[in-house]
Amino acid sequence: MAVSGVFRGPKAVGPQAQRFRHPRLPIPDDSVSWCSGCGTCTSVCPHGVLVAEINIQAKARLIEQGHAPLRDQLLARPEMLGTLARPAAGLTNKLLELPISRWLMEKGIGIASRAPLPAFSGETLRTRRADLCVDQPPRNAGTKGDTIAYFHGCSTNYYEPELGLLTIAVLEKLGIQVLIPPQNCCGLPLQSNGLFSAARRYARANAEKMAPFVQAGLPIVGTSTSCTLAFKHEYRAVLGLEGAKFEMLADRTRDLFEFLLWDAPDRLETIKLGPLPMKVLYHIPCQLRSHAIGAPALQLLHRIPGLEIELSQAACCGVAGTYGVKAERYDVARAVGEPLFQQAIDSGAELVVTDSETCRWWIGEHTGLPSVHPVELLARSLGIAA
């Protein structure tokens, strides 16, 4: 969506400008830095040109020519922030809510004072379900097709552990055993902020940690569409990582609802979905569109009796991970999301439903409506959550 003349469009700053970018000379035009990395240009290109990937790599070269500001270094490391804040999560959250704190953060390091920031959790998912955390899958774990390895990602572990608990409860209700492998941040925030060297370290670490579970034939199932996209696509197409471990990881990775619909359809037939008499607006996140699997959550939600679903007409909510949190990008991100916000308000929906954590936080802030992951509605329908 065109909301600013600073960005000349993905094709202009991508494939066209790429012809003028010598591999050993500085990039002459920094307008590519305004690309949010939503991936829509790649998804819709009729010739299969990886436009978004070209743009992301050019943005990384801009960082290499200069340096990443402290703000970007911090936003790119949610795992580190979650670990540091956890011992005093309550106090940290209260401080971050203070207007003076937000003003100082904007003036000091450039984090937009009006942008939503997630609340830290005092307990991680891993501590709450330590019984499921294993370094290696049990012997013959993948032979019956009833076990998955859960990649919870940073947001679920440090900010939304309840989402992870609901996901585990839903899977166990379906008779599926959940294992939580050792893992680190997927690295996508680092990649999005042009910090490719660090992103590659994170990617290699995850490939090593997931390898025993992949080799055992287990699906790697995630509830964050950006994390699963990193495994499926970004590690190889953007970061340029090659080898059998990355190929196997991509092949075995599933979004949660992708797994439920296409890997475990027989288990869905064994359960009865209870009615949910409410209206919701469902938004397909950009990262999920980039999976090229349609909208599996939407398909499953349509099975819930009494649930009225209006589909978002917006291509993007605007936030694009950490993009909209940056002070100089906030107004652009807000303008991109405005049609979605207005539709949500006008629809009369009780909830907004979307698979991406940053989209949920952004949409909730700008609509005043509760914004939830689709697994929450599935859990309610199964009687797992109120």
The 10s digit of each residue's pLDDT in 55-111 is: 777 777 777 777 788 999 999 999 999 999 999 999 999 999 999 999 999 999 999
Give the span between the Cα atoms of 76 and 187, in whole angstroms. Answer: 8
Ordered DSSP codes for 95-134: HHHSHHHHHHHHHHH-B-TTS--PPPPSS-HHHHTGGGB-
What pLDDT, on a 0 to 100 scale, did the predictor assign at position 141? 79
Give the span between the Cα atoms of 69 and 91, in whole angstroms. Answer: 26
Give the span between the Cα atoms of 307 and 266, in whole angstroms. Answer: 22
**DSSP 8-state class, residue 230:** I
Place of tokens 């990395």: 37
Give the span between the Cα atoms of 21 and 345, in whole angstroms. Answer: 44
Q: Where are the beta strands (DSSP E) in 241-306?
A: 253-255, 278-283
**DSSP 8-state class, residue 220:** E
User: Are 361 and 116 spatial neighbours (Cβ–Cβ below 8 Å)?
Assistant: yes
pTM given for the model: 0.91
Give kind and range of the element (H or E) at residue 351.
strand 351-354
Q: What share of the chain is helix, strand, coil (3-state, %, to 5)?
A: 55, 10, 35
Adjacent-strand bridge partners of 151: 222
User: Are 124 and 178 spatial neighbours (Cβ–Cβ below 8 Å)?
Assistant: no
Alpha carbon 372 to its chain's center: 13
What pLDDT, on a 0 to 100 scale, did the predictor assign at position 2? 62
Cα within 13 Å of Cα(99), Cβ side = 0
Q: What is the mean pLDDT of each run of 10 residues along the chain (386 residues)?
A: 58 58 62 71 71 76 81 95 96 96 96 95 97 92 84 97 97 95 96 93 98 95 96 94 96 97 90 95 93 93 97 92 94 95 96 96 96 97 84
User: Are 344 and 372 spatial neighbours (Cβ–Cβ below 8 Å)?
Assistant: no
Inter-CA distances, 211 with 126, 208, 249, Å: 20, 5, 7
First CA to last CA across the chain, in angstroms? 38
What pLDDT, on a 0 to 100 scale, did the predictor assign at position 21? 61
Residue 21 makes CB contacts below 8 A (sequence gap 6+) with 27, 28, 58, 61
Topology of 271-381 in CATH?
Answer: Rossmann fold (3.40.50)
Q: Number of H helices and number of E strands within the chain?
A: 23, 8
Q: Which two tokens stand for residue 236?
A: 């190889």
What pLDDT, on a 0 to 100 scale, did the predictor assign at position 161? 97
**Across the beta sheet with 307-311, what order do the strands follow?**
307-311, 278-283, 351-354, 371-372
Strand pairing report for 147-151 and 371-372: unpaired
- The angle subtended at Cα 121 by Cα 99 and Cα 301, nearest 5°, is 100
Ranges of each domain in the chain: 10-65, 271-381
Residue 369 makes CB contacts below 8 A (sequence gap 6+) with 344, 345, 349, 350, 351, 352, 363
Place of tokens 């998955």: 148
User: Are 231 and 197 spatial neighbours (Cβ–Cβ below 8 Å)?
Assistant: no
Give the span between the Cα atoms of 351 and 372, in whole angstroms. Answer: 7
